[in-house]
Amino acid sequence: MSHNAQNEHKPHGYYTGDIHNQFVEEHYDPTAKKIIWRTFWILLVATIVEVAIAFIPMHKELLQWIFVALTIFKSAYIVGVFMHLGKEKKSLQYTILLPFFLIVYMIAICLIEGVYLFHIG
């Protein structure tokens, strides 16, 4: 039996060290490193795209909307992976994400109305 095969059956965790000296099992995921590296590369590519877009001559408003969209993508990806929202039930995902999208929608409406009022006022 190889060394790795022996370690697969041992529970991962630690002893509390108090009077009870209980063994507390950790949630060990052998694919965690792969997920972290995949997340790193996805966020790195998104950041490189943001930096590259900054040097492309385009209209300032379009550039700002692209940055906002990429920032929302990166933050949603971080919430889904590192905060484990992607593995939760759909009802909990909607409970957390729906208010976020409604707030973003209200901010967008306020900005659009503010620009409109600025131009006619």
CB-based contacts of 74, cutoff 8 Å, min separation 6:
43, 46, 47
Q: What residue spans define the domains of the chain?
A: 3-87, 88-121
pLDDT tens for each residue of 70-107: 998 898 888 888 777 777 788 888 888 889 889 989 99
* pTM reported for the whole predicted model: 0.57
Instruction: Give dist(CA 60, CA 44) in Å, integer.
Output: 24
pLDDT tens for each residue of 8-36: 556 677 677 777 767 776 666 777 788 88
pLDDT tens for each residue of 47-66: 999 999 999 999 988 998 89
Q: Is the pLDDT of residue 44 over 90?
A: yes
Instruction: Give dist(CA 69, CA 29) in Å, integer.
Output: 32
